[in-house]
Amino acid sequence: MRFLAGLFALAWLIPGFAIPDLLVTWDPTWPVMLEAGWGLLFGVLVAAPFAVLAFVPESAPTVLHLSTVCLAVALAAALSLSWQAAALDAVLVAQIATIAVVASLPPWHGLGPRQLSWPLLAVAALGTAPWITYAFDMFAADREVLPDRDVTLGVDHYAIQGALALAMVSLIYLAALWPRRLWASTCGVALCATYLGIVSLAHQDTPGGFSTPWSLAAVFWGAVACLTNVWVVRSK
């Protein structure tokens, strides 16, 4: 199981283009926000959790995290009318199912009792409307087949950009229910939001980018999520 988890992590980092896409996020000749979105989703929110499972195979919260990201990509595929994104998501489904079966570890097992964190719930609520609005804008852009789109493995990055937004909000809500068990998920979300905001701030008018105020808001939300996570985990 450790071997499989490590193999899946490497698959998303290199053949899955997480690392190559992150490496070009500061090259203005590329659509840097769309590259960042792909790299963050498959690098930070998918490959990193698989790497965790290679070292901590009994980690049910990590399987729940991956299942949540998988559902976000599936919803993005449906709303973008993208069968290519659905096919990519099917690969992730197979990987998660393999891990769960081999480890006998369904995502709902081993989480312990819920300990609702109102501060994290407030962070999630603060980001819900902006991130979901952004996600639906990305899905609409995918359906329109815009000339500025970017395609990797046959998948339009706009669909993945929207999936990242949905995944971030969903993971914060889950972390609000199990703050100590899903603290790493909140860290990943905070990193994604902050990095997206910084990239957008540095490259205005890039496809999939935010305005200056919303770029700053993404950085602020990511920083607040991180600080709130640290405070909640240390206080419990």
Per domain, the residue ranges of the chain are 2-235
Top pLDDT among 68 and 59 is at: 68
Residue 19's contacts (CB-CB under 8 Å, 6 or more residues apart) are: 13, 39, 43
- Residue with more model confidence, 106 or 126: 126
Question: Is a pLDDT exceeding 70 seen at residue 109?
Answer: no
Mean pLDDT of 159-178: 97
Q: State percent of the chain over pLDDT 90.
A: 84
The whole-number pLDDT of residue 106 equals 58
Section 79-84 average pLDDT: 96
Check whether 150 has a pLDDT greater than 80.
yes
More confident residue, 87 or 145: 87
- Check pLDDT > 90 for residue 7: yes
Whole-number pLDDT of residue 236: 62
Length of the chain: 236
Nearest to 199 by CA among 17, 28, 13: 28
Q: Is 228:123 a contact under the CB 8 Å cutoff?
A: yes
Whether 207 shows a pLDDT value over 90: the answer reads yes
Task: Please report, rounded to a whole number, the percentage of residues in the chain having pLDDT higher than 70.
Answer: 97
Average pLDDT over residues 109-137: 92
pLDDT for residue 139? 97
Model confidence at 105: pLDDT above 90:
no
Q: In terms of DSSP H, where are the helices of the chain?
A: 2-13, 18-23, 32-39, 48-55, 60-80, 83-103, 118-144, 157-177, 183-202, 212-235
Q: Are 102 and 5 in contact (CB under 8 A)?
A: no
Closest CA to 99 of 6, 179, 31: 6
Q: What mean pLDDT comes out for the span 191-203?
A: 97
SS3 152: strand
pLDDT in tens, 93-103: 999 999 888 87
Quick one: average pLDDT of 134-150?
93
